[in-house]
Amino acid sequence: MNILIRIRNWVSNLCKRMYKTTNWEPDVPLSIEMLGFIIAEKYKWIKDPIYGLLDHVLPIKHMNWQLQNTGCVKGDCDDFATYTSYILIRMGFKQVFRVNLIDKLHVICVFMNNDSVFDVFSNSSYYNTKSSNVDAAIEAYCNTVVMNDIRYNISQGIHYTKDEVRKLTIDGRAKLITIESMIEIIGIECK
**So what's the pLDDT on residue 91?**
96
Where in the chain does DSSP place strands (E)? 43-45, 73-75, 96-101, 106-112, 118-122, 125-131
Is 160:136 a contact under the CB 8 Å cutoff?
Answer: no
Q: 126 and 144, same structural domain?
A: no
Is 164:186 a contact under the CB 8 Å cutoff?
Answer: no
Q: 113 and 86, same structural domain?
A: yes
Q: 105 and 170, same structural domain?
A: no
**So what's the pLDDT on residue 191?**
35
As a whole number of angstroms, the distance between CA 161 and CA 4 comes to 39
Q: 94 and 114, same structural domain?
A: yes
Q: 141 and 123, same structural domain?
A: no
Strand order in the sheet with 106-112: 96-101, 106-112, 118-122, 125-131
**So what's the pLDDT on residue 180?**
43
Domain boundary among 113, 132, 151: 132
Q: 22 and 71, same structural domain?
A: yes
**So what's the pLDDT on residue 151?**
73
Provide the whole-model pTM. Answer: 0.78
Give the number of C-alpha atoms closer than 13 A to the C-alpha of residue 63, restricted to the C-beta side.
Answer: 25
**So what's the pLDDT on residue 145?**
81
Domain boundary among 132, 163, 178: 132
- Count of domains forming the chain: 2
CB crowding 169-183: b at 16 or more within 10 Å, else e: beeebbeebebeebb
Q: 91 and 178, same structural domain?
A: no
Q: 71 and 21, same structural domain?
A: yes
Domain boundary among 101, 132, 163: 132
Q: 119 and 139, same structural domain?
A: no
CB crowding 107-129: b at 16 or more within 10 Å, else e: bbbbbbeeeebbbbbbbbbbbbb
Instruction: Average pLDDT across each block of 10 residues of the chain; the chain has 191 residues. List them in order.
Output: 69 80 96 95 85 75 96 93 94 92 81 94 92 90 78 76 63 43 40 35
Q: 152 and 123, same structural domain?
A: no
Range of the domain at 145: 133-191
Q: 170 and 77, same structural domain?
A: no
